[in-house]
Amino acid sequence: MKEKKCFKGILTVSVIVFLCCSMVIADRVDASEVTVSINPANYTVSRTNEIIQIEIQAENANNLYGAEVHLSFDPERLEVVDPNGNRITKVNAGDAFVTGNKFVAQNKVDHEQGKVDFTVTLLGKVKGKTGDTIVCTFNVKTKKVMDSEIQLDEVILIQSDDSVSQLSKVMPHIQNGQITIEAQTGHSHSGSNDSQTHKTSDTDSQQSVVDKQTPVSKSLHDIQGHWAEGDITRLVNQKIVSGDPDGRFRPEDQVTRQEFAKMIVLAAGLQEELNPSLDLTDKNGIADWSKGYVAAAVKAGIINGYADRSFKPQQNITRAEIAVMAVRALGLNVQAGNIAQFNDAHAIPGWAQSNVAAAAAKGIINGFPDGTFQAGGSATRAQAAKIISHILDN
């Protein structure tokens, strides 16, 4: 506590009085219309070393001149890092201070206690930002895939009048003071000798359960009201899938084998191979963004390729291939199962039958309303999202 008081003294005495000695400092006032939030409010992680960008935002500020921020995090599960994942001991001033004006900031990140103390002030007689603006920003990295929180403990804002002759300490209302990080555990994986890759699609047009996460349907305008909106939102928040720059997800487009390879690797909690080495005859046809994920899937025994050692990255993945890949990613025991439930069981290839039975028994892949499985049918992006969501739940 003494240390925290000392840090506050730096702001009120050293920073404000020394740097702004020509201004009058008013007593601390409450300003209920001024609020602060920590964003994002909720986040789901599925693997270690996942980096989350955090922002402290002030809303309805008026000539924001300085700020003092205190927050806490779980040091056993999180650490403050730079964008490359390296541990750091300071956070960054936000747009409220770094755009156009001179400023000074002081930081203290205590990785042992899980504390961040940050102060910042403008220099000289200049007007600060008005409206909604970012006070500070930083990144945290997951050390363990476990539930955790980041708590905004206290914020003091310093605002100036229009003539920049008087500063006032403002106690803003903390509108959202906590980030809840929910863990989705990854899965183990085991190899099998089926000679194909797999990707899942579930065309059951049932309503998906919407995840309790920050909705992305506002930015992905073509998934609003879609039966897979909840699953797509979940995977976007977990950075397993993403939309196009123009705000489309294209839920009814088909999924290629290399696209699904990335999805299944991330869902299984595996890491992308940074220096991928692939013994596949068509490896040069695999997109650069996908090679590391394909290599990780091969290494884990999730993908074996075809009999001719090709991968066919641009080929649409089939439901049978998805079943095989899902079962391998989850490390499920594969035994002779019941596929008679499907009206077209005779059309399921022999190499996929036991995997389809295992996946269906786990509820990972279901049939169509007409009772068919359609093993050779391609999967859409929406169907793949639903299947990957089922994998995360198993």
Q: Is the pLDDT of residue 260 over 50?
A: yes
Q: Does residue 11 carry a pLDDT above 50?
A: no
Length of the chain: 394
Domains and CATH numbers, the chain: 2-183 (2.60.40.680), 229-392 (no CATH)
- Does 105 score more than 50 pLDDT? yes
Tokens 């506050």 locate to 8
Is pLDDT larger for residue 325 or for residue 208?
A: 325
State phi, psi for 115 to the nearest 5 degrees.
-125, 145
pLDDT digits (tens, 9 = 90+) for 150-195: 999 999 998 888 777 788 888 888 888 888 888 764 443 333 333 3
Q: Are strands 42-45 and 178-183 parallel, antiparallel or unpaired?
A: parallel
- pLDDT level of residue 292 (50, 70, 90 thresholds): very high
Report the chain's terminal Cα–Cα distance, integer Å: 44
Question: Which pLDDT belongs to residue 210?
Answer: 31
Range list of H helices, the chain: 2-9, 18-19, 95-98, 229-237, 257-267, 288-299, 319-330, 350-361, 381-392
Is 46 within 8 Å of 267 (Cβ atoms)? yes
Higher pLDDT, 336 or 82: 82
CA atoms of 293 and 27, how far apart (whole Å): 57
For residues 266-287, average pLDDT:
89
- The strand ranges marked E within 201-278 are none
Residue 20 contacts residue 12 (beta carbons within 8 Å)? no
Q: What is the mean pLDDT of the chain?
A: 80
| Sign of CA pseudo-dihedral 238, 241, 246, 252 | negative
Q: Residue 336: pLDDT band by 50, 70, 90 thresholds?
A: low
Whether the predicted pLDDT of 264 surpasses 70: yes
What is the predicted pLDDT for the residue at 281? 93
pLDDT for the residue 337: 64
- Can you tell me the distance from the alpha carbon of 140 to that of 142, in angstroms, rounded to the nearest whole number? 7
Regarding predicted confidence, which is higher, 113 or 28?
113
Specify the 3-state DSSP secondary structure of 289. helix
- pLDDT, average across residues 347-358: 92
- Lowest-pLDDT range of 43-47, 200-204, 317-321: 200-204
**pLDDT-based confidence at 256, cuts 50/70/90?**
very high
pLDDT at 14: 37
For position 321, what pLDDT does the model report? 95
> 88, 104, 101: which is closest to 138 by C-alpha?
88
